[in-house]
Every structure is written in structure tokens, then in C-alpha cells.
Structure 1
Amino acid sequence: MSAAIAAFGPPAVTVVFVTYNSGAVIARAVASVPADCAVVIVDNASPEGTAWRDGLARAVDLLPLPRNAGFGTACNAGARHASTPYVLFLNPDAELAPDTVARLLDAARAYGGGIFMPAIVGENGRLMRKEGSILEKVPRRARLAPQDIAGDYCTRFVHGAAFLVERAAFLALGGFDEAIFLYHEDDDLSLRALARRLPIIVVPQARVVHAGGRSSTPSFAHTFRTNRAKMHSELYVLAKYHRARGRAGRLITLAGGCLLALACLDLHRFAIRAGKLAGCLDGPCRNAPLAP
């Protein structure tokens, strides 16, 4: 099949990126996409604009949204805009290994359906793995060891940073829940896929390098806002699946974390804890945009 993907004819895969102030990384990510794949970039009304388009090494379809609608909503827009049988969602701070798309497509055609994830590694070469959703956390000691992985395997969590799926199946699943602005939309997608018996399959020989945390320009304020949104989403997903619990203990823990971070003069950790504390005080997901 690897030869088939390189054959002449219409593309089988559209790679969908969502950008928000991602000008520093998007060119490298786009350059990693095979020439025979289509590319759709959905820009979430980036305050820095999209002048980076002129520096891309290849033609892309740029779909600018009128407002920052959130990651999941933008992904759904990209999937609807695509016309290929498959879509591959990829974070703008990630890069595809040369044969990754071919290997994922081989697996999709061999297994006849599902959600297909590559092995995602950090820039330090460390494998980034999460085998359970927010409702089914798998402790590190219970996860598969690298030496135990001999081939493709099923898991219960699809990492939103990189996965391939049939476009029709993704849309039939409802895409990402657009009530979730940022974070945990992949947990929710995983739970709905499993409920419909749509397997989530890891293809270890397909690889993506994910820098992580570089999709947007970092800052203290951005860290605070993203962690506030993350808490909104966590509370929303827990409530959606009837797992909501009292917030008093969480508030106390986060407040203590803020004080400890200040005592250690760790402003980054303080921004994380303070953002989550603010989100916890707000309550479940409000689908509010992250202002620049």
C-alpha cells in the first residue's frame, strides 16, 4: 500500500491543522506532510495573523475562522472542508516521520475501520503515552512497557495531537464536542468512539515528533488562560458522563498549590495552579475564547 499512496490520482488523506498564533512552528509541520496529501489549515482568528502562509513550502487550503472557536470546533470545520476519504489531525507543533501517513493508511485499510494513532514522541525521544481517558485513568505502572509492544495494539484513548480516521466515520461520530473549547475534547471523543465499538489502534511503526506546548506563543497570561480552560473542560466532561464530584477538596488543593508555587517563586507553576483554580471557581466548560 505504501506504493499506492504515492501513485498518481486524487489524495486519500487530508492533514488538518488548527492554528492560533502558531506562526513559529506551522511551516516545519506542513513541510513534514507528504506531497500527495491535501492540507487544510484552520486558523482560529490568530491575533498575529496568517502572514506565515507566504513562507510555507507547499500550497494549502487556509480556512480562517471569524473568531477563536476552540480546538474541536476548528477541527470539525477542517474535516467538513476536506474531501478525501481520510483525515489526519495534526498539531502545528508536531512533525510526521516520512512514512507515517502511509503506515497509518495501511493499517486503516487492513483493519477496516477505527481511529489510528502513530507513536508520539517528544523532541527528547521519550514516548508520550496515555492509555486511558479522564474517566479511566491507567496508572503508569499498569501501562504497557515498550518491550511488551510487538505490533499494532488497541488502546482506550486517542491523543488529539495526531490521529487518522475515515472522514465519514469522524463526522458520523459527531466530530469533537463543540461545547468544549480547549482540552479533554480527545477524552470525550475516545469515550464516544468506544461506546460505538469504534476501535482506537496504535501503529507504533508510524511516528510523530511532538514538541508539545508550542502551538501558540508561550506567556504567563497564556499559561493561566489555557489551564483555566482545561479545568472548564474537565468539569464539563465529568458532568457529561455523570462523574461530577464536589469541588471543595479540589479548590483547597489548588489554592495550596498556588501558595507553594509563590513560596518557591515558580511563576510558571503558579500560572498553572491559578488558572485551574479560576476554572474550578467558574464551573464547567463555558466555551469562552482565549483572548490574546
Structure 2
Amino acid sequence: MKGPRGGLTAPGQVLPIQRGAPPRLGQGFSVQSLDSVSVVLVSYDSGAVIGRAVASVPREAEIIIVDNASPEGTGFMDGLARPATLLPMARNMGFGTACNAGARAARGRHVFFLNPDAVLEEGALTTLLATAGRYGPGLLMPSIVGENGRLMRKEGSIFQPVPRGRRLKEQEIAGDYCTRFVHGAAFLVERDLFLEMGGFDERIFLYHEDDDLALRAEARHLPIIVVPEARVRHGGGKSSAPSLKRTFAINRLKKHSELYLRRKYGRPIAFLRDAARLGGGCLLAALTLDRHRFMIRAGKLAGLLDERGAP
């Protein structure tokens, strides 16, 4: 369905959320075969789940696994159901840097980034390629479904949040539509376009690199298109073994990334308000004996204090 400016819409709702030119239909873009796709997965102690992700990729597509110096090693490669190219990093360089390395090594015209704890449903990659052929350059996402069967969707980047109650419900979606956020767990993009954009910002170690990519795509008037008929099941946080220590470290890094983006895009940092909110969250989690929630809040508070103490 097309809106007044030619953009993609959901039933009964026009989504004019990409500025500038809408997706362009049929301007000489042909549907590519699956051997034009390189699937890039980034591994860090992901051996317990990555085999399922690899097995879900059609055999025609190239697979590149970038291992971020996993402490557990790369023995998982021996048990994969199909051939894959291993690209080992000398040390853990972070998600975005590893993705960029995989994209540079890829041979396909298109790159599909896939988390190691995610699984492609049948026909998903073919559907995404057909959509790319219809609309031309842009970033294309499948529907990402969590373990509970619900859609994992944001609709807006870190600076353009859409409240949960205002997000489209699954029954309201009919056909492809534009959004303002690209989920780093699974999306398709032309390799040359991704590299010409600079790939992911390598100054971001972990988290919010996809927010940054979405903001840069919007600035370039590139559409971010969700293709509901293509589906990916995502484990959500299961690409590495869970632990309270790791929860703390991840959330500390997540806060570092948020603060970096605020500086990059000239957004204010409300240090005292944020510190009070996170400190209160730590206290509440301690009183309710919720250790996981405590580590989340404490990690973010530590990241905020790191910023305060930086020269």
C-alpha cells in the first residue's frame, strides 16, 4: 500500500518516517539469487547457539563467522552443518568492528547480518532479496520474533523513541513498511552501500551501533524497510553464556555507547538526574533481592560515573 508521497504504509496508517525520497520501485533493480548474499555472524563464546543459526542459512549463501577472540575458542566450527569461513580477530574488537571486518571480507553483492542466537525461517532470505529488487538501495529487516512469539520492534532510534503503546500491533501490519530503527540482530544491505556509509561506527564497542547506523541512514534519505513476510527467530541475549558479572559489564558498555552517541549528535547528558534514577533503581532491586536487575542498574550507573570521571 502506498501513501500520499509513495512511502510504504501499514493498514489505515501512513508512516512518513523517512525524510526525502521514499523507496523507489522498479528502477532497474533486479532480483538477485541467494549466491549474491554473504551472511555475516559475529561470535563471542557463542558456540552453544551459533550452529542453529548457521544451519538456517540457505546453502547458496556465503557464511562468514567473525570470532571476537572467544575465550572458549572456535572449536564450534567443527560441528557446523555446512561450510563457513572463519575470520578470527586478534582480540575482542566489539560488535561493530567485527561486522565491518566481515563485510569487507564478503564476496556477495548483499550482506545479511545475523546474530548467532537468531535463526532464519524458511524463505526469509529469498523474500528479503525480492524486496530489495523492488525498492532499491536501503536497509531491509525481517520481522524479528522473540522466544515468546512476540515481535521485537522499536520503530525509533535512541533519540526518536516510540512508546510501546503506540507501536504497530502485529494484526495492524499488512505489507512492507518504513521505520526509523534498524535492528542489528538481522538486516540486509548492499555491501558497497554499507561500506560507503562507513559501516558501523567502530568507536562503539557494544550496543547502539545500530541506532547510529539508522540515524546516518535517515540523514542520507535511505529507507529502512521492514518485510513482515521474512521472519527471524531471535533468542535475545543468548549469544554468550549469562552471568551476573557479564550483565554488569554489558550494561556498563551500553551506557558508554549511549553517552558517546549523545556527544556525537550534540544531545544533552543529564548526569545528576540519570545518576539519581539509576541509584534509585539499584536500591529498589536490592530491597527486592533482584540480583539481575541490580546488576543492570549498577552497570549503567558505573558507566555514567566513568563518563563523569573521564578527563
TM-score band, normalised by shorter chain: over 0.9
For the residues of structure 2 that align with 1:13 and 1:91, how far apart are their CA atoms?
16
Secondary structure of the corresponding residue to residue 283 of structure 1? helix
For the residues of structure 1 that align with 2:235 and 2:55, how far apart are their CA atoms?
15
Matched residue, 1:133: 157
Asked if the contact 1:235–1:244 (Cα under 8 Å) also holds between the matched residues in 2, the reply is no
Note if 1:101 corresponds to 2:125. Answer: yes
Instruction: After TM superposition, give the deviation of residue 256 of structure 1 in Å.
Output: 1.2
Which residue type is aligned with residue 253 of structure 1? R
Q: Which runs of no fewer than 5 residues in structure 1 stay unpaired? A: 287-292
Structure 1 segment 122-271 matched on structure 2, within 5 A: 122-271=146-295
Which residue type is aligned with residue 245 of structure 2? A
Instruction: After TM superposition, give the deviation of residue 4 of structure 1 in Å.
Output: 6.5
For the residues of structure 2 that align with 1:4 and 1:41, how far apart are their CA atoms?
23
Matched residue, 1:112: 136
For the residues of structure 2 that align with 1:19 and 1:90, how far apart are their CA atoms?
10
Matched residue, 1:289: none
Per the normalisation by structure 2, the TM-score is 0.88
Note if 1:85 corresponds to 2:113. Answer: no
Runs of 4+ displaced beyond 4 Å: none
Asked if the contact 2:32–2:133 (Cα under 8 Å) also holds between the matched residues in 1, the reply is no
Matched residue, 2:303: 279
For the residues of structure 1 that align with 2:192 and 2:221, how far apart are their CA atoms?
16
Report the RMSD for the aligned CA atoms in angstroms: 1.6
For the residues of structure 2 that align with 1:53 and 1:152, how far apart are their CA atoms?
36
Asked if the contact 1:31–1:56 (Cα under 8 Å) also holds between the matched residues in 2, the reply is yes
Instruction: After TM superposition, give the deviation of residue 148 of structure 1 in Å.
Output: 2.2
Instruction: After TM superposition, give the deviation of residue 150 of structure 1 in Å.
Output: 1.0
Instruction: After TM superposition, give the deviation of residue 224 of structure 1 in Å.
Output: 0.4
Asked if the contact 1:91–1:215 (Cα under 8 Å) also holds between the matched residues in 2, the reply is yes
Secondary structure of the corresponding residue to residue 22 of structure 1? coil
Q: 1:44-86: CA deviations, max 9, x gaps?
A: 0001100011000111010000010000000000000001100
For the residues of structure 1 that align with 2:100 and 2:60, how far apart are their CA atoms?
22
Instruction: After TM superposition, give the deviation of residue 262 of structure 1 in Å.
Output: 1.1
Note if 1:63 corresponds to 2:63. Answer: no
For the residues of structure 2 that align with 1:258 and 1:52, how far apart are their CA atoms?
37
Percentage of pairs with the same residue: 64
Q: Which runs of no fewer than 5 residues in structure 2 stay unpaired? A: 1-28
